[in-house]
Each structure stands twice: as C-alpha cells, then as structure tokens.
Amino acid sequence: MKATAGPAEIPIIGSILDLRRDPPRFFAGLAAKYGDVVRFTVFGREALLFSDPELIKEVLIAQPKNFRKSRGLQLAKALLGDGLLTSEGDLHKRQRKLASPAFAKSRMGKYGDEMVRITREQAAGYAAGETVDANQLMMRLTLAIVNKTLFDADVTGDAPKVAAALEVILNNMDRLLNPFTEIMNMLPLPSTLRLREATESLNTIVYRIIAERRASPEDRGDLLSIFMAAQDEEADGARMTDKQIRDECLTLFIAGHETTANALAWTLYLLAKNPEWVTKARAEIKAVTGGSSLTATHFPQLKILYRIFAEALRLYPPAWTISREASVDTQVGGYDIAAGTTVVMSQWVMHRHPRYWPDANAFDPDRFLPENEATRPKFAYFPFGGGPRQCIGDQFAWMEGVLILAVLLEKFTPQLTAPGYEADIHPMITLRPRGGMPLVFAKA
C-alpha cells in the first residue's frame, strides 16, 4: 500500500488564490503537472484531486458509504433543508426512493409535451436578428418548464415572484461555498436579509401550493402530485411531510433549471461557432418529422442533437466538479485516505483529459457515436455524476436539452455577435458563461 497519496504538496497560499481565480483550469493544471492523484490543502484541510476514471468510479460507485457530500453542500442545507441534493444516509435513500417515480420513463412523455409547448411559446417572443443574452433566455425557459412540471398551473400567477426570489438565491449560492457563511448568515448584512426574504417568499408560495394540493389531491401528472402520493411502503407507510415536500421542491427548482440553462447557452454558442452542425441537425429534424410539426415523441430519433448536446456537456459541464469528504479512514486504489479528507473529482478536468479525448478542445459531436463511446472508460465522461447520488433528473435534462434545441433550430440560427467571439467561463456552483451569452438568433 502506498503510505501517502500523491506526489505534490501545493503551497497553501498559492492553492487558495488560484482556486478562487479559476478553479477548473487550476485543477486541470494540477492534473497535467502532477498526474492522476494530487494532494493539496485548502484552509489547512487535506484534499485530493482524483483524475483517473477507476478512482472516481471507486469513490462514487464502490464506496459511497465511506464518503459524504463535501462541506459546501452540507452548508447548502441552510437553504435547501434535507432535499435530495443535501440529505445523507438512510434519509437520502428513503427520499430518493419516494421521488424516483416522478422521473419514471412513463412520466417523460408528458413532460416532453410541456417542454415543446413552452419553448414554442417563449420562442415566439424572441427578437430575431437582434443580440440577445441566450443564457438569460434559457434560464427563463427552463425555469418555466420546471415550474410547470413541478406545480402544474398553480404557480403561473406567482412566476415573477418565484423567478425574482430564485435570482437572489442563485446569485448568493456561491456564498454557500464560503467557510465564513455560517457567521455571515448570523449578521444583519443587506445580502443576508435579501437572502432570507427570498427564501421566505419561496417558502410562502411552496407551502401554499402544498396546502391547496392537500385539499384536492387528484393526480395532475406533475412532480408535486407524485410527492403527495408517494408512500414508503417499506418504512411506516407515512407520506412525505410538508417540510420534506418543501425541501424537495426547492431542491428541484434550483438543481433542475440553472444546470440545463447553462448547458443550453453553451450548446447554442458552440453551434454558432460550428454552423455545419446546425445544418446536420436540421436535416435530421426534417427527416424525423417528415415535415410535420415536431413533438416530444420524436425525441428518441433526434440522435444528432443528442450528440451535439452530449459534446456541449463534455466541453462545458454545468456541474464542473464533484467533491466528497471521507467519513471514515479508507483506501481507494491502494491510497490511504484519512477521515475528513476532501476528494475532488472534476468533470472539467476529465472531459478534456488528453488521454481519453484526442484534440480535446475541439467540438466534435461524433465522439458520441456508439462505436466511439465504447472505447472510453465510463468515468472519463460523467456530466451527471454516478452511483447512488447520480443526478435524478438526467433523463429529464437530456430530453429537455434536445427538444429545446430542436424547437429553436426550426425557427432560428444561432450566430456569434462578432466573428471570432470567444465566451469565457464563470465557474460558480455551475459553469456559467462570464457576463452572459450574447448571441444573435437569426431567422432560419
């Protein structure tokens, strides 16, 4: 057994400064310089960066019980309570089981219909030929889709309030990664008060909807109906409490729209830079629909758009890193890991790793042809994580991404605002484009 994990001890000051400036590229630099296992410290805490698919697989799939979510996400509990993203152990297992019917295949068709309908509705208002912030448009769109599939029609009147509150919360989410957050939350800072107000505003709306739905509990085919009806038969048969439903709804609001919106903004940007793929995707849409109106039932046949979206998720993974904290002393791949050590596994690093991706920075959706996919280890590509904590909304997101792109491409051609425009990353909890995503939606 190797007594120490990794060859490199990065000086503490350097690591923090670089980490704050550009963490994805900082991690990529560490992996390129020091290899598959790198040891460094953050605020005096031991951390390991794993950039080997087998080690990542072992942490996420073989040993999930020995690792818990990292400190940042544990702090997010202040906002999200014990929803799927933040809960641990038996509670997580139970909630995941309760929530999973909401993401069953049989539900997806109905969600897909809403995705197409809402995209058409919003796209009708897009200003063709003018510069738009595609990131903002995609946030509005995916929020409307999550609202509709979660709450059916009930939230329509509250949509502006929900959007405003979420904006405050999302803009403050990075605070949750700040080790001083607990102290800051106790101080009456204006940002703390705004955050509290936004959380209360969402709570009021979510609790009201829950109360209304309890009063007339028929199945409306949305996620909320499923949470209301969900029973854990193995346990005591108790339904989810209002607090649990609130936590799950807020979690899904937050986990379920910004990630997909970022992915779509990056995809539209990559399409603007690679117009030959717009032509290919359109030819496929035409062949699949036979010239009739596109519907959610066409989703499984839109294979080129699927590969385009997959390639965008490779180059700009919205969840650009996953961290875990060892809850016990353990070993991974023969390396000793002490309890309390943070293990970082970065999609940004792995998705551009030259060992698995020739010409890694080039946009080439054909990497996701089945014959090419078969040549790579599973955890060279993991935009949705893996193991028991894998994204519960992954199928929802694939469908949403592909259908939104199909509807948009029927109407518009995404174009850069100036030749050679290069978007930069703004790594928050998700990988946003820095300063938004200016694009022109030219008439198709």
Which residues of the shown chain bind ligand HEM in the complex (CB under 6 A)?
A: 84-85, 96, 251-252, 255-256, 259-260, 263, 318-319, 322, 383-385, 389, 391-393, 396-397
Query: Which of 277/384 has CB closer to ligand HEM?
Result: 384
Q: How far is the CB of 146 from ligand HEM (least distance, A)?
A: 6
Query: Which of 60/195 has CB closer to ligand HEM?
Result: 60
Query: Which of 10/48 has CB closer to ligand HEM?
Result: 48
Q: How far is the CB of 263 from ligand HEM (least distance, A)?
A: 4
Buried b (16+ CB within 10 A) or exposed e, 48-73: bbbbbbebbbbbbeebeebbbbbbbb
Question: What does each C-alpha distance from 348 to 26, 119, 146, 212, 236 come to in angstroms?
Answer: 10, 29, 26, 43, 42
Query: Which of 272/344 has CB closer to ligand HEM?
Result: 344
C-beta nearest to ligand HEM: residue: 393
Helix (H) or strand (E) run with residue 342 in it? strand 342-345
Greatest Cα pair distance in the chain: 64
Query: Which of 147/413 has CB closer to ligand HEM?
Result: 147
419 φ/ψ angles, rounded to the nearest 5 degrees: -55, 140
- Round to whole Å and give the CA distance between 410 and 398: 18
Q: How far is the CB of 32 from ligand HEM (least distance, A)?
A: 23
- Round to whole Å and give the CA distance between 99 and 245: 10
Q: How far is the CB of 324 from ligand HEM (least distance, A)?
A: 7
Question: Which residue type occupies 407?
Answer: V
Q: How far is the CB of 177 from ligand HEM (least distance, A)?
A: 13
Residues 6 or more apart in contact with residue 265 via CB below 8 angstroms: 134, 135, 138, 433, 437
Helix (H) or strand (E) run with residue 232 in it? none
Query: Which of 289/390 has CB closer to ligand HEM?
Result: 390
Q: How far is the CB of 282 from ligand HEM (least distance, A)?
A: 23
Please say whether the beta carbons of 262 and 430 come within 8 A.
yes
Q: How far is the CB of 406 from ligand HEM (least distance, A)?
A: 16
- Round to whole Å and give the CA distance between 336 and 228: 44
Q: How far is the CB of 95 from ligand HEM (least distance, A)?
A: 8
Query: Which of 324/367 has CB closer to ligand HEM?
Result: 324
Partners of 345 in beta bridges: 50, 322
Q: 129: alpha, beta or left, given left = phi > 0 and alpha = psi -120 to 50?
A: left
Q: Is residue 189 helix, strand or coil?
A: coil
Query: Which of 15/260 has CB closer to ligand HEM?
Result: 260
